[in-house]
Amino acid sequence: MEWRVRAIRGATTVSENTVEAIREAVRELLDELDAHNQLDHDQIISAIFTATRDLDAIFPAAIARERPHWDNVALLDVQQMHVEGSLERCIRFLIHVNTPVSQLEIHHPYLRGAKNLRPDWSLAQVSQSVSSAMKSRRR
């Protein structure tokens, strides 16, 4: 088993620029990360959160810091570069982990309006889930 540093990407959108809406979206995004990647929190090296310029009610990293076992993870918030016509009220993350899992087995959660950012990953992950389920039935 060979351990490597892997990057996990994810994104979501927020309904409005409020602490409550941002907290709900970030929690949902991190819950999705946990549910599909079976991470040991000691494996998490760092997490970078970006937010579009229309989100400034709370830092996404502050919400991550509230999670159990995230108190020693290096966290950083930055503003996403503004590009005219890009997705609004969007929060993204880039999380670095030490893991024996291959890059192909990592689930990159894209939720809500952010699903459109990487439709290729959504299709690949559905296909991978179906393939894994079929292999499990054969055993």
- Was 118 annotated as part of a binding site? no
Does 4 appear as a known binding residue?
A: no
The 8-class DSSP code of residue 86 comes to P
> Is position 65 annotated in a ligand binding site?
no
| Distance (Å, whole) CA 102 – CA 97 | 12
Residues 6+ away with beta carbon under 8 Å from 125: 107, 108
Helices (H), the chain: 19-37, 60-65, 119-138
Residues of the binding site for prephenate: 9, 92, 110
Q: Which residues are annotated as a binding site?
A: 9, 92, 110
